Amino acid sequence: MLRYIGPFLRMNKLNIKQVENQLFHLSKESLKNIVLHSKCGITLNLKDLNLKHISSSDINTLNLNSPLLCIYKKGNPKLKIQNNLYSWIEDKHKKDINVSSNSYMTLCLLELIEYYRGFKNLDSTKYSLSIIYTELAKKQLDFYASFLRNAEGVFIDKKDCTDPIIGKIKLKDSTKEFKFSEQCLLMNAFYKCSDYLDGNSKDSFKDFSLDILKMFVDFKEEMYEIPFNDKALLCLNLNIFYSYSNIDDAKILSLDIFDLLYEEYTKSNDNDKIQDICIIYLNAALLYKHTNLFRFKKICISLMELLIKHYNEELSIFIKPGEDKEIRFSSEDIILYIISMLYHHKLGEEASENIISEVFRNQLVDSGIVLSWPDAPNLDDIEHYKDFKSVPENLLEEQYFKMSNITTPESSEVAPIFLKNVIYNKDKKTFKQSKVIFDSRKNLNLFFFILHFLNDKTC
């Protein structure tokens, strides 16, 4: 019996490609569930979408009855059966509307358009998602430009005060502050969306994006003074914008901001936070890609060594400094750690496949920080086959989509989303979940990072 254990462990060990594919599968399916079926936000009437090139049967198959125009801050991820389909329970929606989560939602849609375009002449329903996501992203951005700006024209958080009887949308400002990093998110979304539009819409979306870039150039001295976290995300978003546009102004700004950011990080007495290390790593990795300067590669290697030092072989998870009995891990900690290591591998650098596999299995899947995981496609679904070619030799194993020990949304009756955090007890070696609630600020950003950084075209 024991002679079979070695082969069994090797068979069940996840490789890097399987981890990437599982994360991609989770992100695209979760996004579809949130955007098309959650009703956790202001929804759009189908008549307002240009779907004349999509058959009614494909629309019915997708159950396209409540696409989101914008998403609320929080909602209830528990599911109920409605018309033989699982939908979200529509209570406990916190009707705050955050710029960041809505921007990331639209950017996720835009990141998936090329993927679904790959199903042209292969699967009409899947291909139709490329059209739906394009139309929906455009409508969402139009909505943000009309409703999520203040009197000065910058994007800020709002609160939905719409009277359900009257029905006319009414939002009020929930803050007077704005963040440069969030303005940059919308700049990215408008620019990326313009790539998929035609005519006047294409030009107006691109011009709007470039107007925001001009604001950054004109007010760059003010950006140098913003808090560390906003500066780190602004730099990352500028790097992503350069990936989309190849506009030199964005690269120059990101280089300037990174110099300040890295100097601030190295001088800090509190520079061992997982999220900070990962965001700076991703910034350095993108700057290395954009400039080919060895300085940034050296920073990447140094930061990756620091991330690896956090990994505890005995526990098969990464840990945080300190002697506390309990350690709180946020969903951002875990996902950014995995993404950074996977991206390091994509850059052609050495990355421990064992660390990636163990952190993914133990800290993400087994910890319970993901409530459920979308089931693998059926065997007659071309997504279940490599290169979408349904021949026996291209059949992908179940482990390319989900682990067998995590429940599906249908069996657990909860949506496939990230919880805010989990707490690890070092003595008991067990995880405890935080409150079961959907927080769009803690989900849409992570789905976007997965879709963007694990895209083969990113490196």
Query: Tens digits of per-residue pLDDT, 414-452?
Result: 999 999 999 999 999 999 999 999 999 999 999 999 999
Residues listed for the chain: 459
Domain coverage including residue 396: 20-179+272-454
Give domain status of residue 227, yes or no.
no
Kindly list the strands in the beta sheet with 326-330, ordered across the sheet, starting from the edge strand earlier in the chain.
326-330, 421-425, 430-433
105 lies in a domain?
yes
Amino acid at 445: N
Burial track 313-340 (b if 16+ CB lie within 10 A, e otherwise): eeebbbbeeeeeeebebbbbbbbbbbbb
The total domain count for the chain is 1
Asked if residue 157 is part of any domain, the answer here is: yes
* 8-state DSSP, 350: -
In a domain, 352, yes or no: yes
Average pLDDT of the chain is 92
Q: Which residues contact 162 (CB under 8 A, 6 or more apart)?
A: 42, 168, 169, 170, 171
For residue 375, the model assigns a pLDDT of 96
- What's the confidence (pLDDT) of residue 457? 53
Residue 25's pLDDT is what? 98
Does 340 reside within a domain?
Answer: yes
* pLDDT digit string, tens, across residues 225-279: 999 999 999 999 999 999 999 999 999 999 999 999 999 999 987 788 999 999 9
- Per-residue model confidence (pLDDT) at position 180: 97
Given this model, what pLDDT does residue 12 score?
A: 61
- pLDDT band (50, 70, 90) for residue 349: confident
Give the span between the Cα atoms of 197 and 243, in whole angstroms: 19
pLDDT above 90 covers a percentage of the chain that reads: 81
Who wins on pLDDT, 219 or 90? 219
Q: Using 50, 70 and 90 to split pLDDT, how confident is the model at 59?
A: confident
What's the pLDDT band for 11 if we cut at 50, 70, 90? Answer: very low
- Residues 86-92 have a mean pLDDT of 79
- Does residue 353 belong to any structural domain of this protein? yes
More confident residue, 60 or 255: 255
Q: In this predicted structure, what is the pLDDT of residue 358?
A: 96
d(CA 242, CA 23) in angstroms, rounded, equals 25
β-sheet bridge partners, residue 414: 78
Residue 375: inside a domain:
yes
Local structure of 454: helix, strand or coil: coil
From residue 400, give the alpha-carbon distance in Å to each of 18, 355, 379, 434. 5, 18, 13, 28
Rounded to whole angstroms, how far apart are CA atoms 130 and 62? Answer: 13
Q: Say how far apart CA 122 and CA 447 lie, in whole Å.
A: 26
Which candidate, 68, 73, 125, places its Cα nearest to that of 98?
Answer: 73
What was the pLDDT predicted at 92?
Answer: 66
- Three-state DSSP at 312 gives strand
What average pLDDT score do residues 200-228 get? Answer: 96
54 has pLDDT over 80: yes
